[in-house]
Amino acid sequence: MSISLRQGGLADLEAVYQLNRENFSEYWSRESLFSALESGYDLLLCEAECQVVGYLLSLTVLDEIQIMQIAVFSDYRRQGIASRMTAALAESLTAADHHVCAMTLEVRQSNHAARKLYAGLDFEEVGYRKKYYAPDINGNREDAILMTRYL
């Protein structure tokens, strides 16, 4: 399979919205994604056969880059796409001699696939936010694990 990465923008909003909706229980509205892209969030896309099959949305805050969302279309998982997008983001920072010194993210405690992905990419678990996510149907709120990769 031939895949390619490219920077995304407002023209890709619908594709990103669909992936976002399919992959996250607390997904962002089109309006929230639009505001994020307009206000300076960075969007990295992965395409296969001219279709968007994965994306990584990030925000640089001072010397830290926060991975806000990363998702890969289910048919394309376990082929290294999320790893490749994260590596490309880290490389772009290093290549630009950027002042960014860490990549950070929050992940649901129960999201073992994502936690394994990040651990394999040298992210360390550095803390947690108790009951961070919205309540589920039973009223339970899940903790977020905070992870950091020092660049």
Ligand X SMILES: CC(C)(COP(=O)(O)OP(=O)(O)OC[C@H]1O[C@@H](n2cnc3c(N)ncnc32)[C@H](O)[C@@H]1OP(=O)(O)O)[C@@H](O)C(=O)NCCC(=O)NCCS
Q: Which residues of the shown chain bind ligand X in the complex (CB under 6 A)?
A: 23, 70-72, 77-83, 107, 111, 113-114, 116-117, 120
For ligand X, give the closer residue by CB, 27 or 34. Answer: 27
* Shortest separation between residue 20's beta carbon and ligand X, angstroms: 9
For ligand X, give the closer residue by CB, 25 or 138. Answer: 25
* Shortest separation between residue 50's beta carbon and ligand X, angstroms: 19
Q: 45 Cβ partners below 8 Å, 6+ apart?
A: 5, 6, 7, 8, 12, 15, 16, 52, 54, 55
Q: Give the position of tokens 């009951």.
A: 131
* Shortest separation between residue 97's beta carbon and ligand X, angstroms: 27
For ligand X, give the closer residue by CB, 120 or 127. Answer: 120
Distance CA 66, CA 32 (A): 17
Q: What are the distances in angstroms from CA 4 to CA 1, 7, 18, 73, 103? A: 10, 10, 19, 15, 22
For ligand X, give the closer residue by CB, 99 or 127. Answer: 127
